[in-house]
Chains A and B, each alone.
Chain A
Amino acid sequence: MAEAAFRPPRRKRRVFECYQAPFPVGAGGGDFRMCRADMVNNSVVVRSPEDVERLYNKGYFGKGILSRSRPVYSISDPSLVSKWQGTNLNMPIITSKKYQQRVQWAKSALQEQGFDSCSVTKILENYTRPLEFPFLEKGGAEQTGDSCDTMGPNTENTELSRHPEPQKEQPAVVKEAAQASCQKHGSHVHCGCKAKGGPEQESCNVAKSRERAPEYVLVQEEEEGSLCLEEGSAHEQEKFVKKEKLVCRRNPFRIFEYLQLSLEEAFFLVYALGCLTVYYGEEPLTILKLWEIFSEVKPSFKTTYMAYHYFRSKGWVPKVGLKYGTDLLLYRKGPPFYHASYSVIAELVDDNFEGSLRRPLSWMSLSGLNRTTVNASKELMLCYLIKPSDMTEEEMATPECLKRIKVQELIVTRWVSSRERSEQDDL
């Protein structure tokens, strides 16, 4: 019997990140922080930017909903950023057209709220007027001072006018915009709000109160009256030189990117590390409850979780294996550093090493799977989770059952007969 040889993971050629930590806990005493996640429509979402940062940087948990993996969504246009390289003001730069689009969205959102078009225009004009750069530091007060007198005693409007500290409160325009837009745009603007009321609505309110200052963007606009004709040319179509400039405004329709955790990741953070709390509405869920809920949402949750937990406890980073038709992809340290080494299929079997398989494979499908895996320079691994035959349903209803589970890993390799002969390789 031969054991499969361990092949060291392939390092990525260009690494842009620094490795911080394998887990969000464990860096010594004072570093503990309880992160918060919410159950929204059967998925787990982390909204607070600090939590998002922490969970992703330390262990590569989750995926930004508007990004490929790391939540790096920004409305900034990269081509504009490189064009205006001189001005490094650390604000996103967007085209005027894009900005206007957002103004339109904010407008329709406000209209859905029931404002008449006159007040909508007023609100938006005020909100989106150009701002001087220096105000960013502290002097928010002077520019917002004049906004106070424009509004009436309407409740919503008083919220708008009552924002002398831009750092603390979110202007109502965005709040409402975010709220209403969810009804319209659904998952697009993932604020966690749903059309119906109920706890989701409240969680939205709570989340909003924690959000940060308005987003300041630089809009590339044409300068007024800056057309200059070239002299002495006879052509009809003249080169109109338009001067462009950057104007600082507030984004009236800000989109927040959240971190979505897979069920296994969320459960691991709650159960194994104790550094995450999952809320439903305002209710923190217990571990048992989570185990039950997740198993309902995803029938094979227990199996995939056991595999996830096992690989995490070995120091590897498991991510979702959907792209390769398997359950998990194993990375060493994290996706930015190494290419995934293993593509894992998890199966639960009993003491007699048999069980109803989630993926009953024929040799045909196994060879197909092996081929695609090998083409991506990974190895196909079958992970069998062996549970004792005397394990009852009751025992399986708690994650404590993990302690009695055994794990058997197998690597699928293709034996090449002609090459083996000439190279005298070890099998």
Chain B
Amino acid sequence: MEAGCSRRLRRNRAPRRSCGQKEFAPDGSAEQDERLRLCLEEQWRQLAEERVERPENLVKAVWKPEQGIVELESPAGKFWHTMGFSERGKQCLLPEEALYLLECGSLQLFYKDVPMSVQEAYEILLSQEAMSLLHYQVFSHLKQLGYIVLRFNPSTVLSSCERQLNLESRCKSSGKHHHKRRRSSSPGSREKKHKVSEDLPKAEGTCEKGGHDCGELSCVPLDEKPLSEQLKELDTGNGEEQSVTSNSVPLDTGRKNVPGPSWSLGTGDQKASSTGTHAPRWDFTTIFLPNVAPDQPCIHLPSPDNKLLPENVPGREVDAASWCRRVNQKQEKLLQKEREQQEKESKYKSSINFDREVRCCINWQEYKALLRWRSQQRVWRQPPHLWGQAVTPLLQPEEATSFAAVRQQISVLQPSHILDGASRLQEDLESIKIDFNVYQADAVAKFKKTNPGKPYVRMCVQSFDEQVPSLRALKQVTYQSGDVPVVFALADHGEIAFYSLKEFKLPVDANY
């Protein structure tokens, strides 16, 4: 197109994004349709405008597919300040840079002596591994905002102290990937230094809680059966000298019976009985009651003492073997409801007989006394179900002197820094690559291509459908970037969004 035609058209105005107020929803009216039509027409018109440039302003460049770069045939313009590199005496551009300049209208790109259209250039230049369409869109977006964007090179990463010591030039020539560097401790961290060579936390022993062994074992272990049930079930006559069983009825169902000490050695209920209306007539320490439970079958039942029997009731010896065989023949069948109930409760309950102190009670009175004693304990600060167990509360009541003290006692989780353990991940394949170094636009004046300095930020280009990087990948990338922040650029059909995941330590609220 001739030079003259360009005057009429505004060259640098980008298509307007909006034509008036946004239409939120279709209302079916003709006016709305008309407005939308006009808007679209305007946009198409602007997009259809031909781009014009003075031919003499265009820099000629040639695409070299074998090397994947673009060589300049004529001298570079202003863009050379921040883009491009020299190779074997020729000025060259990276594909994304060339494409960007082509789109800007500063460059004319030739391939086999034929100028490339923008569409062709997109297809051909971006078919490489290093630079996909996604990457290019991010590059272009940032360039348009004025940033200086260079490709990332892992070997040029310096820590802050190396930078201070001016090791840049040396590093560039050596170009190796430094693994074990000593880093300065970042400000604001805790006492920990983030050593690169730091290894995994061994049992760091910063456990603020000293070992919590099972509290005082003198405490009564858990009494888990609801008391009311037991109290209801056991029909207490006056001192029935049987140990507590988990379910009442003594002889028939024959559930688990605690093998208590022999009856005759009971500590005796010389204490007043709980129903306490009259003193017991018999001395149970001398009366033998046989145990016919399934776990301790007693087949032979001796003749009872005549003194114990009423007058006209004879007693005799019995061999209970035949009876024992008849007992417990049928499996107890529970109803569906009962079974469900039992299952539900078994989650929470365990047999009362696991309780050592309960086993020590040899008669009902002792057990009741134990319960009474225990209920008094409830108002005590250290109830047994919390303090008599393997795992006790973190806060000892006597240590609860102030809120700060409380806070200290409960702080058992240890903090971790993003760089902890990151060094040992470097040997693995990186799942995420850093793509660009980005420098601020204000730094253009002082910018030197050969010595760009510390980037403002480093970019990792990702797609919206990809998963957010795992902590592992994040650590790798953060470590690799040194002291420069990492930003993730997400491209979605031309719209770019940037996110960063930053290390953070929630401060302690020292309000009290």
Contacts and interface: CB of A to CB of B under 8 A. Distances in A.
B502 A410 contact: yes
B9 interface: no
B172 to A, nearest CB: 22
A272 B395 contact: yes
A22 B393 CA distance: 18
Interface stretch (B58-66, B275-283, B464-472): B464-472
A25 B391 contact: no
A131 interface: no
Contacts of A353: 421, 425, 470-472, 475
B305 to A, nearest CB: 40
A427 B500 contact: yes
Interface stretch (A48-56, A76-84, A173-181, A278-286): A278-286
Interface string A366-392: 110010000000000110111010000
A71 B425 CA distance: 50
Interface centre among B341, B425, B478, B501 (most CB of A within 10 A): B501
A363 B499 contact: yes
Interface string A167-204: 00000000000000000000000000000101100100
A406 B207 CA distance: 11
Contacts of B498: 414-417
Nearest to B202: A388
Given A274-B397, A364-B465, A296 B414 contact: no
Contacts of B507: 6, 314
A409 interface: yes
A26 B413 contact: no
Contacts of B203: 404
A3 interface: yes
Contacts of A247: none
B510 A315 contact: yes
A354 interface: yes
Contacts, number: 298
Contacts of A199: 226, 229, 345
A272 B410 contact: yes
B511 A427 contact: no
Contact of A1 (B347, B402, B503): B503
B248 interface: no
Q: Assign chain B's interface to a size class.
A: 35 or more
A2 B187 CA distance: 10
B385 A400 contact: no
A363 B226 contact: no
A403 B209 CA distance: 8
B474 interface: yes
Interface string A243-281: 000000000000000000000000000111110010011
Mostly helix, strand, loop or mixed at chain B's interface? loop
Interface stretch (A132-140, A220-228, A287-295): A287-295
Contacts of B224: 283
A351 to B, nearest CB: 7
Given A403-B209, A411-B502, A367 B497 contact: yes
Given A283-B348, A284-B222, A354-B472, A381 B485 contact: no
A34 interface: yes
Nearest to B399: A26
Given A366-B499, A421-B441, A32 B400 contact: yes
B488 interface: yes
Nearest to A342: B506
Contacts of B419: 1
Contact of B386 (A27, A270, A312): A270
A333 interface: yes
A309 interface: yes
A233 interface: no
A363 B488 contact: yes
Contacts of B381: 32, 34
Interface in A98-115: none
Nearest to A415: B498
A124 interface: no
A286 B389 contact: yes
Contacts of B484: 1
A386 B392 CA distance: 24
A108 B76 CA distance: 94
Contact of B471 (A28, A281, A282, A349): A349
Contacts of B200: 351, 388
The 7 closest A-B pairs by CB, nearest first: A274-B393, A315-B509, A415-B498, A353-B472, A26-B406, A406-B416, A4-B502
Interface of B: 141-142, 145-147, 186, 188, 200-201, 203, 207, 209, 212, 222-229, 337, 341, 345, 347-349, 378-379, 381, 383, 385-387, 389-397, 400-403, 405-407, 410-421, 425, 440-442, 456-457, 462-468, 470-472, 474-475, 478, 481-488, 490, 496-512
29 contacts: A1-B485, A21-B403, A26-B403, A34-B378, A274-B396, A281-B348, A283-B348, A296-B347, A313-B410, A315-B407, A349-B472, A353-B470, A361-B467, A362-B467, A363-B463, A363-B490, A366-B499, A381-B504, A381-B506, A402-B412, A403-B209, A408-B415, A408-B418, A413-B499, A417-B142, A421-B146, A421-B440, A421-B442, A427-B485
Interface of A: 1-4, 6, 21-23, 25-29, 32, 34, 39, 196, 198-199, 202, 270-274, 277, 280-289, 291, 293, 296, 306, 309-316, 330, 332-333, 342, 347, 349, 351-354, 357, 360-364, 366-367, 370, 381-382, 384-386, 388, 398-400, 402-418, 421, 424, 427
Given A4-B503, A281-B226, 7 more contacts: A1-B482, A26-B402, A27-B403, A314-B509, A367-B490, A407-B416, A421-B442
